[in-house]
Amino acid sequence: MVRIIHLSDIHFGCENKPAVAATRDHILANPPDLLAITGDVTSIGAVAEFQAAADWLKALPEPQLGTPGNHDTPYANLVARLFWPFRRYDHYLGPAWRDGFSGPGLAAQSVNTARGAQVRINWSKGAISESDTERVTQQLARAPAGTLRVALCHHPLIEITGGPMTARVRGGRHCASILATGEVDLVLSGHIHTPFALALRCHDERTYAIGAATLSLRERGAPPGFNVIEADDQTVTVTAQGWTGSHFEPFRTWSLPRRQAAPPSAVAEAEGIARAASGVSDSLTNGA
Ligand SMILES: [Fe+2]
Ligand SMILES: [Fe+2]
């Protein structure tokens, strides 16, 4: 069994203090195999907010793996956002790029979807690079068969039907397809402050997009919370814990069938077929 605690959008500066304190207590009482933090750790990228975030995370167990969100850039300073958007994140929580974790039964890589500026009015939406995605996918593919492969980003790569806001990630659908084809198991994100879990409609439909709620006062129709993700050989169970005002309790739970690792004989056969069919590429359907 592999266990991940997935936090997002704590937004230090406007964090929900009782919920954040209870989250710390939960993590200390139930240390996970990985603490994943999918960005928007601060509210406006202020030094004091980063310092508070760093102090809070230092008191929590390793391993931890994060990726920045749009709010982790210097929000009110266009020049700084243009030229050094992740300098503070790198200093206090970094690195913002090329970070990963590998342990027994679990491999994780982060890919930055936040940008300090974009050539569009709403720069806070997401963007993802194909080369970053391919690098992450290749890194995760090196893990032994049966390893739970996890990618972290801030913005959901596909739009969530019924979600409270959009992410409009440039390159999102294409890169979601790359991750699914590379048989990454989970793509964790935040940004919309609402928990969700759904299969990406491409490849074998066993790659799941999972979103965590916020731990801030910036609620968007769902209570503050975090995800507990537990995976055995057959199933990934996602429990979104929701803050009631005094304690956490399960808010929603998803039970997701896990991609099955092919036995060595099947891998050899598939490689033989692939060699025979060299030059023919797969046609993938992305209906997400
Ligand atoms: Fe956020
Ligand atoms: Fe965000």
pLDDT in tens, 172-212: 999 999 999 999 999 999 999 999 999 999 999 999 999 99
288 within domain boundaries: no
pLDDT at 86 over 50: yes
Domain around 267:
2-276
Q: Residue 193 CA: which ligand is closest?
A: 1
Residue 39: pLDDT band with limits 50, 70, 90: very high
Mean local confidence (pLDDT), 211-228? 96
In a domain, 93, yes or no: yes
Looking at all shown ligands, the one closest to residue 194's CA atom is 1
Q: Is 230 domain-assigned?
A: yes
DSSP lists the bridge partners of residue 3 as: 230
pLDDT of residue 265: 53
Q: What is the mean pLDDT of residues 90-108?
A: 91
Q: 239-261 in b/e burial notation, b at 16+ Cβ within 10 A?
A: bbbbbeeeebeebbebebebbee
Pairwise CA distance, residues 204 & 259, whole Å: 8
Output the CA 16–ligand 1 centroid distance in Å: 13
What's the structural domain count of the chain?
1
Mean pLDDT over residues 81-93, rounded?
Answer: 95
**Whether pLDDT at 49 is above 60:** yes
Q: Which amino acid is at 153?
A: C
Ligand nearest to the CA of 13: 1
- What is the per-residue pLDDT for 167? 82
Which pLDDT band holds residue 155 (cuts at 50, 70, 90)? Answer: very high
Per-residue pLDDT at 286 exceeds 90 = no
List Cβ neighbours of 147 (8 Å cut-off, separation of 6 or more): 105, 106, 107
Order of strands across the sheet that contains 64-66:
64-66, 34-37, 2-7, 225-231, 235-243, 248-257
Query: What pLDDT does 269 receive?
Result: 52
User: How far is Cα 24 from Cα 247, in angstroms, rounded to an integer?
Assistant: 12
| 286 located within any domain | no
| CATH code at position 94 | 3.60.21.10
Of 35-39, 64-68, 210-214, 269-273, the least confident: 269-273
Give me ligand 2 centre to Cα 8, in Å.
9
Please, which pLDDT band fits residue 267 given cuts at 50, 70 and 90? Answer: very low
Q: What is the mean pLDDT of residues 227-253?
A: 98
Nearest ligand (C-alpha, residue 73): 2
Is residue 82 situated within a structural domain? yes
Let me know if residue 6 belongs to a domain.
yes
Q: CA-to-CA distance for 125 and 38, rounded, in angstroms?
A: 15
Position 181, amino acid: T
Q: How large is the average pLDDT for residues 91-106? A: 89
Q: How many angstroms does the Cα of residue 87 sit away from the middle of ligand 1? A: 19
Query: Relative to the alpha carbon of 169, which ligand is closest?
Result: 2
19 vs 283 pLDDT, higher one? 19
Ligand 1 center from residue 163 Cα (angstroms): 14
pLDDT tens profile 228-238: 999 999 999 99
* Separation of CA 190 and ligand 2 centre (Å): 7
Of the ligands numbered here, which is closest to the C-alpha atom of 155?
2
Alpha carbon of 192 to ligand 1 centroid (Å): 6
- Ligand 1 centroid – CA 148 distance (Å): 26
pLDDT band at 242 (very low <50, low <70, confident <90, very high): very high
The answer to whether residue 282 is domain-embedded is no
- Confirm whether 121 is domain-assigned: yes
Mean pLDDT of the chain: 90
